[in-house]
Amino acid sequence: MSTNNPFEIARQQIDACAQILKLESHVHEFLRNPMFEVHVSFPVRMDDGSTKIFQGFRVQYNDAKGPTKGGIRFHPEETIDTVRALAAWMTWKCALVDLPLGGGKGGVICNAKEMSKAELERLSRGYIRSVYQFIGPDKDVPAPDVYTNPAIMAWMMDEYSKIAGKNKFGVITGKPICLGGSLGRGDATARGGMYTIREAAKVLGLELKGATIAIQGFGNAGNYAASLARDLFGCKIVAVCDSKGGAYCQQGIDHDGVCQFKAETSSVVDCPKTERISNEDLLEMDVDILIPAALENVITEKNAPNIKAKIVAELSNGPTTPEADEILHEKGIHVIPDFLCNAGGVTVSYFEMVQNLYMYAWDEATVHERLDKKMTLAYHSVLKTSKSLGINMRKAAYVVAVQRVVEAMKLRGWV
């Protein structure tokens, strides 16, 4: 049954996995709910002298494998169910790439776009004061997410350190480089996705040099995906789009040119030497690789029969509905599921935690090498499970991840 509630979707995915794994009922029930969540209200002094009360959340879904890890969102439509779902997905994502971490997520209901820099700083510090006792380098480590960034992470780390009475750089990841951030974090999500695309191409016998790619979404992940696919593999990006529409060029889009055009006009639409296309048309283009890198639920049972790509690499969270998943699987389209494809971000965030812990920074080549190893091992563990059980890649990814979490819970004597 279809639902728009992200936490119900997350639970449906767990239910399906529990059936495949034949989990005991008490283990299944434990995995359907977060272990801990906190709701906070805190005051922030606004620039006009008024005081506004903000609502926030932090969810620690499961910490059987280690401290929880996950971003903080500043969004006007943030809900506790969204945060619960994202915390659940972070749990499986960390387990899938075999990190010694659990899954968490946080959020504040606010419109960051309408707030000044000073108001955002006071909001960030206020949130940390509210959740201070529930987070820490060995308990729960936040990171940037929607409408948060390295500058906000720096304020949060500083506030936590002030309360602790000592520097605690490891409490937050995604920090500026000079405050313990990691080299290679900026493009980590897209780069990790590229490593999984490379492995999938080997399995399918697809030559990546000259392979055509369409990218739905030209934000941070989509932009990096375009440049990395070109620079690492010699792929040809033939279509990109944003919320206003898309741009198409059969000979290949000039990445630098489209970036400059978007910076000047705030959209890729009508970029020189391209044709205008719709977001819907982009998804159904006859390309080798389709990269959804924007919104959730864009590939549905309605358009899935028209998808022509050989590989669908999900850089965004939840772009494919469960019904569409089955259709793509039946069509023989190779889907690299979101919490495998986009796990590069949390992997390099984990590397940042490690570097903070022993106060030694790695060079960028080391970060890339270790990210490559993690993503490649994760991809092949999912592929092997998919083939051995005769299930699609997403279900296989869940099986691998949930098995690892359940094993940790059983070894700890929880269940």
Count other Cβ atoms within 10 Å, centred on residue 53: 8
Helix, strand counts (H, E) of the chain: 14, 12
Q: Which of 198, 196, 274, 210 is nearest to 241 (CA)?
A: 274
Q: What angle do CA 223, 288, 194 make, to 5 degrees?
A: 45
Asked whether the beta carbons of 255 and 269 are under 8 A apart, the reply is no
To the nearest 10 degrees (0 to 180), the angle between helices 344-358 and 364-389 is 130
- The answer to whether residue 105 is catalytic is yes
Tell me how far apart the terminal alpha carbons of the chain are, to the nearest angstrom.
30
d(CA 48, CA 154): 25
To the nearest 10 degrees (0 to 180), the angle between helices 344-358 and 188-204 is 130
d(CA 397, CA 374): 14
Encode burial over 61-95: b for 16+ CB neighbours within 10 A, e otherwise: bbbbbbbbbbbbbbbeebebebbbbbbbbbbbbbb
H-run or E-run covering 310: none
Of residues 105, 168, 175, 310, which has the active-site annotation?
Answer: 105
Q: Which of 106, 130, 141, 123 is nearest to 52 (CA)?
A: 123
H-run or E-run covering 408: helix 393-411
Asked whether the beta carbons of 170 and 357 are under 8 A apart, the reply is yes
Q: How far is CA 166 from the centre of its chain?
A: 31
Count other Cβ atoms within 10 Å, centred on residue 5: 14
Asked whether the beta carbons of 345 and 189 are under 8 A apart, the reply is yes
Q: Which of 269, 293, 270, 321 is nearest to 215 (CA)?
A: 293
d(CA 331, CA 365): 38
Encode burial over 393-411: b for 16+ CB neighbours within 10 A, e otherwise: bbbbbbbbbbbbbbebbee
Q: Which residues does the annotation mark as catalytic? A: 105
